[in-house]
Amino acid sequence: MSGRTLYDKLIDAHVVRKLDDDGLVLLYVDRTVLNEYTSPQAFAGLREAGRKVWNPSAALMVVDHVNPTAARRTRQMPDADATRQVDHFADNARDFGIEYFDILDPRQGIEHVVAPEQGLVMPGMVIAAGDSHTTAYGAFGALGYGIGTSDIEHYLATSTVRYRRLKTMRIQVTGRPPLGVTPKDIVMEVIRRIGADGATGYAVEFTGPAVSEMSVEGRIVMSIMIVEAGARGRPLR
């Protein structure tokens, strides 16, 4: 029996059933984080079909995309459309029974940071959300990847998504970074070498002493940025 990558182990542990012989599976997803920008159509689809959210406790709703970034928090949005989005987001949270961090909640922030801060991301999880930088959760030994609105609706209704297995790519970072070289510099050099589409179709796993000794903040940076090379998932070991 050949060895399996961390990615393969995570996928195998979450497959509900095979859907074809070409890697398409029905995948159980442990958790999602919803924002006000990519979720409205999904909730509208649930309402139209008369469906409830299958497991509201596995979702978290965080205002993240249209809110102002001023240091002093305020409920006032930069424009009327943003105000409507946030108000509708709050209505969906209430109507479907999902925990909601609004603008003035002290726990509100960037969704990819909020979820780990609240202990909602753990090794071995699969997390899918409506943002390409959901790969951030790879920093914690989880598989995180971005999904579209129709997949968000399917997840909310069933806790599953249709998923096609990716190829895997290992990137080993050896040695120790010299003073002034940051995790961002490392991943930018990786992208320079493999190209802006070099990881398209792959789940990337970073390994090596430079990675294992990196701070969790640095690991998050690398997990987020590798998506700029086309990666759709990035468990880190």
Region 167-229: CATH code: 3.40.1060.10
- Tell whether the model's pLDDT for residue 235 goes beyond 60: no
Q: Averaged over 58-82, what is the pLDDT?
A: 86
195, 5, 30: which is closest to 115 by C-alpha?
Answer: 30
pLDDT band at 75 (very low <50, low <70, confident <90, very high): confident
Rounded average pLDDT over 191-217 = 93
Percent of the chain at pLDDT > 70 equals 97
Give the mean model confidence (pLDDT) for residues 34-40. Answer: 94
Q: Please determine, for residue 143, whether its predicted confidence score (pLDDT) is greater than 70.
A: yes
Give the C-alpha distances (Å, rounded to integers) separating 135 from 85, 147, 226: 25, 11, 8
Q: What is the pLDDT confidence band of residue 97, given thresholds at 50, 70 and 90? A: very high
Residue 237 has pLDDT above 60, yes or no: no
Overall average pLDDT of the 56-64 stretch: 96
46-50, 202-206, 227-231: which range is least confident on average? 227-231
Q: Which has more confidence, 65 or 46?
A: 46
Query: What is the percent of the chain where pLDDT is above 90?
Result: 81
Phi, psi at 153, each rounded to 5°: -60, -45
5-28, pLDDT tens digit by residue?
999 999 999 999 999 999 999 999
pLDDT greater than 90 at residue 73: no
Domains 14-164 and 167-229 share a fold: no
**What is the average per-residue pLDDT within 27-44?**
96
pTM above 0.85, yes or no: yes
* Homologous superfamily of domain range 14-164: Aconitase, domain 3 (3.30.499.10)
Which pLDDT score, from 0 to 100, does residue 233 have? 63
Sorted by where each begins, the domain ranges of the chain are: 14-164, 167-229
Arithmetic mean of pLDDT over the chain: 93
What does the chain look like in DSSP terms, one character per residue? -----HHHHHHHHHEEEE-SSSSEEEEE--BEEE-TTTSHHHHHHHHHHTPPPS-GGGEEEE--SSS---SS--S--SSHHHHHHHHHHHHHHHHHT-EEE-TT-TT-S-HHHHHHHTT---TT-EEEESSGGGGGGGGGT-EEEE--HHHHHHHHHHSEEEEEPPEEEEEE--S-PPTT--HHHHHHHHHHHH-TTTTTTEEEEEESHHHHTS-HHHHHHHHHHGGGGT-SB----
